[in-house]
């Protein structure tokens, strides 16, 4: 059984960001998002799984990203939250934000239940 520890959650978050840099975000997130997942974006949009995947199909790739100061809150043995700061670049635009991702074990799979962004600017 997989464990929702710091290393696992960081590996997943990095894989997600890497997929966004390679224009493969829709594929990555369609596989890891829970059926009833929600993305809360810094512009105020709240997207369900279908809308998230659709928006990622149309998104330009990020050029780079960095994850800083990750913290994990273990809710219980089947769920955990990772909170971290991100700086992401796309063309000349630099975005700085705090990200929170809530993961849960669903059967034997890790699924992303909630993702939220908060702008640092």
SS3 string of the chain?
CCCCCHHHHHHHHHHHHHHHHCCCHHHHHHHHEEEEEEEECCCCCEEEHHHHHHHHHCCCCCCEEEEEEEEEEEEECCEEEEEEEEEEEECCEEEEEEEEEEEEEECCEEEEEEEEEEECC
Torsions phi, psi for 49 (to 5 deg): -60, -50
Q: What's the pTM value of the predicted model, to 2 decimals?
A: 0.94
Digit-by-digit pLDDT tens for the chain (121 residues) are 578 999 999 999 999 999 999 999 999 999 999 999 999 999 999 999 999 999 999 999 999 999 999 999 999 999 999 999 999 999 899 999 999 999 999 998 999 999 999 999 8
The pLDDT value recorded for residue 96 is 97
Q: End-to-end CA distance of the chain: give it in Å, rounded.
A: 40
Domains and CATH numbers, the chain: 6-119 (3.10.450.50)
Burial class (CB in 10 A: 0-12, 13-18, 19+), 112: buried
The distance between the two most distant Cα atoms of the chain, rounded to a whole number of Å, is 42
């Amino acid at each position: 059984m997989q464990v929702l520890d710091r290393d696992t959650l960081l590996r997943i978050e990095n894989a997600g960001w890497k997929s966004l840099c390679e224009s493969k975000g829709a594929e990555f997130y369609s596989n890891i998002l829970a059926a009833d997942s929600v993305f809360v974006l810094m512009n105020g949009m709240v997207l369900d799984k279908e809308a998230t995947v659709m928006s990622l199909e149309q998104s330009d790739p990020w050029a780079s990203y960095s994850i800083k100061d990750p913290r994990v809150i273990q809710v219980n043995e089947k769920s955990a939250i990772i909170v971290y700061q991100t700086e992401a670049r796309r063309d000349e635009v630099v975005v700085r934000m705090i990200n929170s991702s809530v993961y849960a074990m669903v059967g034997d799979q890790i699924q992303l239940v909630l993702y939220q962004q908060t702008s640092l600017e």
